[in-house]
Structure 1
Amino acid sequence: MREYLLMASVTAVVTYLLVPLVRVFALRIGAAPEIRERDVHTVRTPRLGGLAMYAGMLAGLFVASRLEHIGPKLADPRMGDGQTVTALALAGGVIVLIGFLDDWWGMDAFVKLGGQIAAAGLLVAFKLTLLWIPLPNGGTVSLDNTLTTIITILVVVVAINAVNFVDGLDGLAAGIVCIAAMATFAWTVALTDSLDQGRLSVTAAITAILIGMCLGFLPHNFHPAKIFMGDTGAMLIGLVLATSVVTVTGTVDYNGAGDINRFPVVLPILLPLAVMVLPLADLIMAVVRRTSYGKSPFAPDRGHLHHRLLQIGHSHRRTVLIMYAWTFLFAATVVGLSVGGVPLIVFPVVVLLALAVLVMMGLPVWRSGRGGRGGGAHAVRPGPQPGPGPVPEDPSVPGAATTSSSATVTTTG
């Protein structure tokens, strides 16, 4: 546990210290776009915070590779051909380059998708892939080389875009991914106590580094943000989160798990779904909303969940905390159910409970004489509001992001 703490701490410190330098660099090269009508923020804010996060990740990987216990696990030939550190560094480098160019100059959505597939392909090339998929009845579905490649790339690309899509308010993406990493780390450590498998230690190491990346960046990014992570950071942490899922999903032999209950058999599938349900649901609703108005599914609007929470009276920070709370409730409950040993049927009950809590937390905040907090210091900027008809858009920026951190809507959003 001390080695995991050291890795996370080094990553967080390096990220935190480099953010101010990256901010200066972003301002000098002009990576601080004009405010658009649909943006939530009201002050021009530089992007490229992901550069500091990538440097923090490299520092964490370097330290991890030299630790007494984690180092040999990362160099195990059965785990990514013993080149886990190299695989993450190279794949992360590709995704950061694509994100940097997009944050600075802008990039076509399909070019970005190509870069995401290339980064996922690097993970596959280094054998960081799904080996088989677990089933609720204790069985497994074996994957041949073709299916392994296709499904691994699909998981990575979906995770990258889901994180990029939810990056719409100060601190939102970093906080949600941090909670996801903490949940995955807790489950991995708990299972490692019962199963002696090297891949679990690799997953714990990756999630520890991801936690450090997010915690080091959040002090600079929480409202009011001094810098945005941009696509550079959103796609990077999505990639790292996906890698942690890939290294654990379908790799644990539960037949030797002893008193571990059967709930963990499908947890590697449920956990990423649990922490990604919010952005994925928002993505699906956005596509349905836009196409029903005769718009392109990639057309920007102000109908996202975080926009609606702001418009019904919640402040910027309260909206972010509501979404944190939902993610934490869901992820922590799923992990708790797994470790505690409960029937699998409990999971749908938890889903309904989490949705009910989200609805209640999203109700308007009534303030006598003020009509809610929408008119306070953290109010949404005046602009087009979602209603029964089509939502006006900013024609000057076709297909651009709808978020405060310039998270460009790619082929999934």
Structure 2
Amino acid sequence: MRNMLQDSDIMSGLLPDLASPDAEAVVQEITRTSIFQGYVGVFIVAFVVTLFATPIMRRLAVANKIVDMPTDPRKVHKQPTAYLGGVAVYLGLMAAMVFAIVATQIPGMIDYHETEHNLRISSHIMPFSIMIGMTVIMLVGLFDDIIGISPRLKISGQLFAAAALALDSVGIQVAAGLIFPAAKALGIDPIIISGQETIGFAVFGYGFDIIYWTGAAVIAVFVLGGCNAANLIDGLDGLLSGTTAIAAAGILIIALTLALIDDGARDTQRIILALAILGVCVGFLPHNFNPANIFLGDSGSLLLGYSMVVLILMLGDTGKTHLVVAGLVIYAIPIIDTALAIIRRKMAGKKMSDADSNHLHHMLKRSLGVKGAVFTLYGIGSAFALLGIAASFGRARLVYALILVLASFIGVTAIKIARRGIIEAEVAGKINGTTTTDSPAKPSGDTKGGKSAAAK
């Protein structure tokens, strides 16, 4: 991989690659559709298992009183609603991945597209580190749903899952796409550490791999941010599962395109994971759309966030970091909402754990109702998906410029919302005869998910 990074223009887009004679020959032989058809069994398994496991989990939750009672007037649902939806999603993901592994041992069961890398893959079609991370994330969320655990313990579980990825080098190359060009510009020569070409230095006879440790830090930030962003956006029936399905479909298109033009070790893994996520979301959505009869809970929201982060990080294993940025654009809804919440609460002098009613879905719900807000965010999510797909085919500079525009939009919007909130709090304080600092925090407009939603 690192030799490839040195011999090619890391920051180039995908379209120039398609112009090469070798790429044209491959395109003539296979298409995105033909590749997709070879993997479609993964989607079917994920969809069917989740579709039928969800009502079983619902009955199990009701029998054991693992339900969210609508005692708080802020909650949308009017009847006791089961948790454990996240367990059904987990079962669907695991079933799809086990199927993908078993399918390689049974001729004719599934038809993966053939590349030099994929022909050498057997049980490592899906790295076990990803499956271990999913298990840890799901269990942490499940314990929080059932008995409640401290934020520190939840963060520890997420960091453990991130460490598992780093140890297996999943997503590590995200850093290479930036560090190698920067080192070349500064005249820093690569060194060999553990048989791999990298940027680093020797300490007491031992090599310090700057790319590896920078990549590990990036993975940790992505996992923490992605898990909690998904948890924050899970505020309306069907919102998280629907927007995640749209994002997974968008990244699937990029993954299929990469499979056409790039003989990469992660091609198969990206396609399998994207199809598995898409399948479980589509299988869960009929049970979770308004009016929902089961919730994802923290086990499901954290798991979907983690799975999407892994999928986005795997785009970086091409050595083209701008593809990761394109993936983030596709998954923009949770990211933007979380960024707005952070800036908004900091400006208002509130803690991050303080609830408010200014999330994107809260504001849309006040005007459009639950279903109207959800469908609107589906549309916005689809627009971001198309934008991210288009950006992935462009030059890296275009993608970075796009993310700069989005960041500026987030900052300006957050400042406006925060100022409006401060003014409203001051007005409320004058009416009640109190100061702003004495006014209680405004309750969340939608806490459908019990304790986890109340913290949003």
Q: Which of 84, 94, 103 in structure 2 is aligned with 1:58?
A: 94
Q: Do the aligned residues in 1 keep the contact of 2:172 with 2:212 (CA within 8 Å)?
A: no
1:19 maps to which residue? 54
* Pair 1:229-2:296 in alignment: yes
1:250-399 superposed matches below 5 A: 251-252=317-318, 265-311=320-366, 313-339=367-393, 341=394, 344-345=397-398, 348=401, 388-389=424-425, 392-393=441-442
Tell me the matched-pair count. Answer: 365
**Cα 1:252/1:323, change in 2 over 3 Å:** same
1:78-89 superposed matches below 5 A: 82=124, 84-89=126-131
1:117 maps to which residue? 159
1:27-46 superposed matches below 5 A: 27-35=62-70, 36-46=72-82
Distance 1:164 1:401 in 2: 16
Distance 2:166 2:451 in 1: 26
Q: Give the match's secondary structure for 2:175.
A: strand
Partner AA of 1:20 in structure 2: P
User: TM-score with structure 2 length normalisation?
Assistant: 0.70
Q: Indicate the RMSD between aligned Cα atoms, in angstroms.
A: 3.6
Deviation at 1:344, TM superposition (A): 4.6
* Pair 1:180-2:180 in alignment: no
2:12 maps to which residue? none
List alignment gaps of at least 5 residues for structure 1. 254-264, 357-384, 395-399
Larger helix percent: 2
**Cα 1:223/1:354, change in 2 over 3 Å:** farther
Q: Do the aligned residues in 2 keep the contact of 1:94 with 1:119 (CA within 8 Å)?
A: yes
Distance 2:60 2:257 in 1: 42
**Cα 1:157/1:3, change in 2 over 3 Å:** farther
Partner AA of 2:452 in structure 1: T
1:248 maps to which residue? 315
After superposition, give the CA deviation of every residue in 1:165-220 in whole Å (9 maximum; x if it has no partner): 11111111111111111111101111221112121221111111111111110010
Q: Do the aligned residues in 1 keep the contact of 2:323 with 2:392 (CA within 8 Å)?
A: no
**Cα 1:245/1:287, change in 2 over 3 Å:** closer
2:415 maps to which residue? none
Q: Which of 94, 117, 133 in structure 1 is aligned with 2:136?
A: 94
Partner AA of 1:116 in structure 2: Q
List alignment gaps of at least 5 residues for structure 2. 1-35, 105-110, 184-198, 200-209, 410-420, 426-438
Deviation at 1:125, TM superposition (A): 2.7
Deviation at 1:146, TM superposition (A): 2.2
* Pair 1:126-2:193 in alignment: no
Q: Which of 213, 231, 236 in structure 2 is aligned with 1:169?
A: 236
Q: Do the aligned residues in 2 keep the contact of 1:200 with 1:248 (CA within 8 Å)?
A: no
User: TM-score with structure 1 length normalisation?
Assistant: 0.77
**Cα 1:321/1:351, change in 2 over 3 Å:** farther
Q: Give the match's secondary structure for 2:155.
A: helix
1:197 maps to which residue? 264
Distance 2:217 2:374 in 1: 34
Distance 1:287 1:347 in 2: 22
Distance 2:175 2:212 in 1: 13
**Cα 1:401/1:85, change in 2 over 3 Å:** farther
Q: Do the aligned residues in 1 keep the contact of 2:235 with 2:453 (CA within 8 Å)?
A: no
Deviation at 1:48, TM superposition (A): 1.4
Partner AA of 2:340 in structure 1: M
Q: Do the aligned residues in 2 keep the contact of 1:49 with 1:228 (CA within 8 Å)?
A: yes
Distance 1:245 1:10 in 2: 22
Partner AA of 2:164 in structure 1: L
Partner AA of 2:41 in structure 1: L
Deviation at 1:164, TM superposition (A): 1.2
Partner AA of 2:300 in structure 1: G
Q: Give the match's secondary structure for 2:82.
A: coil
**Cα 1:101/1:266, change in 2 over 3 Å:** same
**Cα 1:409/1:228, change in 2 over 3 Å:** closer
2:220 maps to which residue? 153
Deviation at 1:161, TM superposition (A): 1.2
Identity, in percent, stands at 26
2:3 maps to which residue? none
Deviation at 1:407, TM superposition (A): 7.7
Q: Do the aligned residues in 2 keep the contact of 1:231 with 1:406 (CA within 8 Å)?
A: no
Distance 1:79 1:156 in 2: 26
Deviation at 1:282, TM superposition (A): 2.2
Distance 2:235 2:74 in 1: 11
Distance 2:451 2:124 in 1: 33
* Pair 1:408-2:443 in alignment: no
Q: Give the match's secondary structure for 2:307.
A: helix
Distance 2:318 2:152 in 1: 35
After superposition, give the CA deviation of every residue in 1:85-115 in whole Å (9 maximum; x if it has no partner): 4223221111111111111122211211111
